[in-house]
């Protein structure tokens, strides 16, 4: 068939506001009409007509077609029927079905289950329309598939028909009517095919994708997000999952997953992309998983437990000019000693400890005057000596209990002034070299050192860098009451300091099984769930309000697949990385031998 003539040149005075001028500007250069397809400009198009529908449909039943990974125009024509017309059509349909049923009964035939079901549905629909609970509409559903070549068009049409068939939708090509089909799918409000089906209100309402698998876009008139980063791809829609933790109510997050689910890989990806966004990141790393990443980007690694590396918990930040700075250090030492001992000391020992801390500061010449805070701070052994000088049973008992950390086997971490001052955009605190008995105290000391830098009350402006504090394997702290309490306080106060706290753990019970763990979750606007163990899925589903389908997805999720939850928003994602990012984020055992 010869191609239709191309568009005619327009005069210089043609206005785009005029219909003819608009068609000349936006219309294709030419259209070739064939029985199976149209050649529109440089591309090809084919129209499909939906001729059959399932008996029942679920919510957003058109969503698989709307999310089809290609160029597909889904067009729905809806014309309401007047109540009188709807009632007349239903009466005729019910009469036909009843006549067939009676004819079968007179001839002794078995009843047709399909006809019986249709008669029941028609009676129920007539009752809803009579009561004003529903209306009838004439609906036409058309699909226009686009491709750049004929081979691609054939493949795309076959794929779209298979997708429609999975929804129990019957489709037929608009053979010999491709031009009418194409114009029908244009925004011209002209149905040139006229293939309609009567539907009620519920069927039409459920067709609209009110429950999308993707995160909601900004409302009309609202500006789009200017920040954020790529979290991955949505397996359900092939869309991009783009998330900005800093645009939420707070920048805190929790990442829960069983061992081997890819949580460290996902967190390292976020750390890399946060660094590129100008965020300052501090990581508490129990297993040296972030060392290679820190070396690659020029970060600083502080290995606690290595000879010569010490942290003095009594140091007062030099930039802190608050009059209660010394009091804050004394209160933190109470928390640290409770973690060292594994329990809160009895009241008499806490009173003796408080007096010993103040005496140690006084002997070092440090008072509540900020000008004295640049002097050398006392050490933990000085506090123990002050306890001994009190000559009371409670003080002597506490001094004896602190002996392993002052003069015994665990003294190296506290036996001297602080040797390393963290600085840089990425600081990695490694606790792998610490003994198991010092893991929780070491993580608490590192977290305190990070927080002292965040909490120093310098003048905060829009140029103050955002800070992300990552606590990996947080179960080490959460299983200790005082450590969990300290982590919960940081989760509550991070937002006011332009900071975010990211808690990562594989031991779900330690986080969900305590009130303090629930506080950490409640103060995390971003919640990421990766693959979960069957033993923990019931608790997680109850805490996060998961549906049965979401719980099954988490049980069968692959590595790096998970669910992003924030308030009422939730979306599935698969973490994706560039080759360079992938090499930095995989575990050390997965690195090729030639690298």
pLDDT score at 590? 67
- CA-derived radius of gyration, the chain: 34
Q: Structure tokens of 148?
A: 């750049």
Q: Which residue has the tokens 């090809």?
A: 44
Domain boundaries, the chain: 28-81+135-207, 213-282+294-299+464-595, 312-419
The percentage of residues in the chain with a pLDDT greater than 90, rounded to a whole number, is: 36
pLDDT for the residue 11: 45
CA-to-CA dists, residue 337 to 398, 444, 496, angstroms: 10, 11, 28
Phi and psi dihedrals of 546, rounded to 5?
Answer: -80, 145
Helix, coil or strand: residue 40: strand
417-472, pLDDT tens digit by residue?
Answer: 888 877 889 999 998 888 888 888 888 888 888 888 887 755 455 577 899 999 98
Calpha distance 62→141 (Å, rounded):
10
Q: How far is CA 374 from CA 46, 326, 366, 418, 454, in A?
A: 78, 12, 8, 13, 19
Per residue in 297-354, pLDDT (tens digit) is 999 999 988 888 888 888 887 777 777 888 888 998 999 999 888 888 999 999 999 9
Question: 357 near 383, Cβ under 8 Å?
Answer: yes
Per-residue pLDDT of 23-71, as tens digits, reads 555 667 788 999 999 999 889 999 999 999 887 777 778 888 887 888 9
User: For domain 213-282+294-299+464-595, is the CATH number 3.30.420.40?
Assistant: no
* pLDDT of res. 143: 95
Q: What are 565's strand-pairing partners?
A: 527, 570
Residue 110 — pLDDT band, cuts 50, 70, 90?
confident
Average pLDDT on 283-310 reads: 89
Give the confidence band of 385 by pLDDT, cuts at 50, 70, 90. Answer: very high
The tokens describing 537, both together, are 């899925």
Alpha helical stretches, state H, 27-82: 63-66
Structure token pair of residue 372: 């004295």
Q: Give residue 224's pLDDT.
A: 64
Q: Tell me which architecture the domain covering 312-419 has in CATH.
A: Orthogonal Bundle (1.10)
More confident residue, 206 or 75: 75
- Mean pLDDT, residues 134-155 taken together: 92
Contacts 24+ apart (CB under 8 A), 193-196: 193/47, 193/49, 193/140, 193/142, 194/140, 195/49, 195/50, 195/51, 195/140, 195/142, 196/77, 196/79, 196/138, 196/139, 196/140
| pLDDT of res. 1 | 44
- pLDDT of 5: 47
Torsion angle of alpha carbons 564, 566, 568, 573, nearest 10°?
-10
Q: Beta-carbon neighbour count of residue 285 at 10 Å?
A: 25
The first and second tokens of residue 170, run together, are 């019957």
CB 375 within 8 A of CB 366: yes
pTM: 0.68
**3 state SS for 94-148:** HHHHHHHHHHHHHCCCCCCHHHHHHHHHHHHHHHHHHCCCCCEEEEEEEEEEEEC
Question: CB under 8 Å to 15, separation ≥6 — which residues?
Answer: 21
pLDDT at residue 409 in the model: 87
Q: pLDDT: is 304 or 97 the higher one?
A: 304
């Amino acid at each position: 068939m010869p191609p239709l003539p191309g568009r005619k040149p327009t005069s210089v005075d043609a206005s785009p506001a005029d219909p003819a001028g608009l068609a000349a500007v936006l219309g294709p250069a030419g259209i070739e009409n064939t029985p199976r397809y149209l050649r529109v400009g440089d591309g090809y198009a084919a129209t499909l007509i939906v001729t059959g529908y399932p008996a029942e449909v679920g919510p957003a039943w058109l969503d698989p077609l709307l999310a089809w990974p290609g160029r597909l125009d889904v067009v729905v024509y809806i014309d309401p029927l007047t109540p009188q017309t709807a009632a007349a059509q239903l009466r005729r349909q019910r009469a036909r079905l009843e006549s067939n049923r009676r004819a079968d009964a007179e001839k002794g035939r078995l009843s047709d289950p399909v006809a019986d079901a249709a008669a029941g549905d028609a009676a129920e629909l007539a009752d809803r329309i009579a009561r004003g609970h529903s209306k009838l509409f004439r609906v036409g559903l058309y699909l226009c598939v686009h491709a750049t070549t004929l081979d691609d068009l054939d493949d795309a049409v076959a794929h779209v028909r298979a997708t429609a068939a999975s929804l129990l939708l019957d489709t037929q090509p608009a053979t010999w009517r491709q031009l009418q089909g194409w114009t029908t799918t244009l925004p011209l409000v002209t149905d040139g095919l006229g293939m309609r089906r009567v539907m009620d209100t519920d069927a039409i309402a459920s067709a609209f994708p009110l429950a999308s698998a993707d995160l909601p876009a900004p409302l009309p008139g609202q500006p789009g997000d200017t920040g954020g980063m790529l979290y991955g791809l949505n397996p359900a829609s092939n869309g991009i999952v783009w998330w900005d933790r800093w645009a939420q109510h707070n920048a805190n997050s929790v990442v829960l997953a069983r061992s081997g689910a890819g949580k460290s890989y996902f967190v390292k990806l976020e750390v890399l992309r946060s660094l590129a966004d100008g965020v300052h990141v501090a990581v508490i790393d129990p297993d040296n998983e972030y060392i290679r990443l820190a070396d690659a980007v020029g970060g600083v690694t502080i290995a606690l437990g290595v000879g010569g590396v010490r942290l003095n918990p009594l140091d007062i930040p030099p930039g802190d000019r608050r009059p209660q700075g010394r009091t804050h250090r004394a209160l933190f030492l109470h928390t640290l000693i409770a973690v060292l001992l594994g329990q809160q000391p009895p009241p008499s020992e806490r009173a003796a400890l408080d007096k010993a801390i103040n005496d140690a500061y006084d002997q070092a010449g440090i008072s509540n005057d900020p000008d004295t805070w640049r002097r050398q701070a006392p050490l933990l052994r000085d506090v123990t000596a002050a306890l001994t000088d009190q000559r009371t049973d409670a003080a002597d008992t506490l001094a004896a209990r602190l002996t392993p950390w002052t003069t015994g086997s665990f003294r190296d971490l506290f036996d001297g002034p602080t040797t390393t001052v963290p600085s840089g955009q990425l600081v990695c605190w490694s606790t792998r070299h610490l003994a198991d008995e010092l893991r929780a105290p070491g993580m608490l000391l590192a977290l305190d050192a990070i927080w002292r830098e965040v909490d120093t009350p310098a003048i905060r402006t829009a140029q103050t860098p955002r800070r992300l504090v990552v606590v990996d394997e947080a179960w080490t702290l959460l299983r200790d009451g005082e450590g969990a309490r300290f982590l919960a306080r940081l989760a509550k106060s991070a937002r006011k300091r332009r900071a975010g706290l990211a808690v990562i753990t594989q031991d779900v019970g330690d986080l969900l099984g305590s009130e303090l763990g629930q506080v950490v979750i409640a103060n995390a606007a971003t919640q990421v769930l990766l693959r979960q163990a069957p033993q923990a899925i019931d608790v997680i589903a109850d805490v996060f309000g998961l549906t049965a389908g979401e719980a099954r997805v988490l049980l069968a999720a692959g590595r790096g697949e998970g669910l992003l939850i924030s308030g009422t928003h939730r979306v599935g994602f698969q973490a994706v990385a560039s080759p360079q990012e992938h090499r930095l984020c995989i575990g050390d055992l997965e690195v090729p031998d030639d690298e």
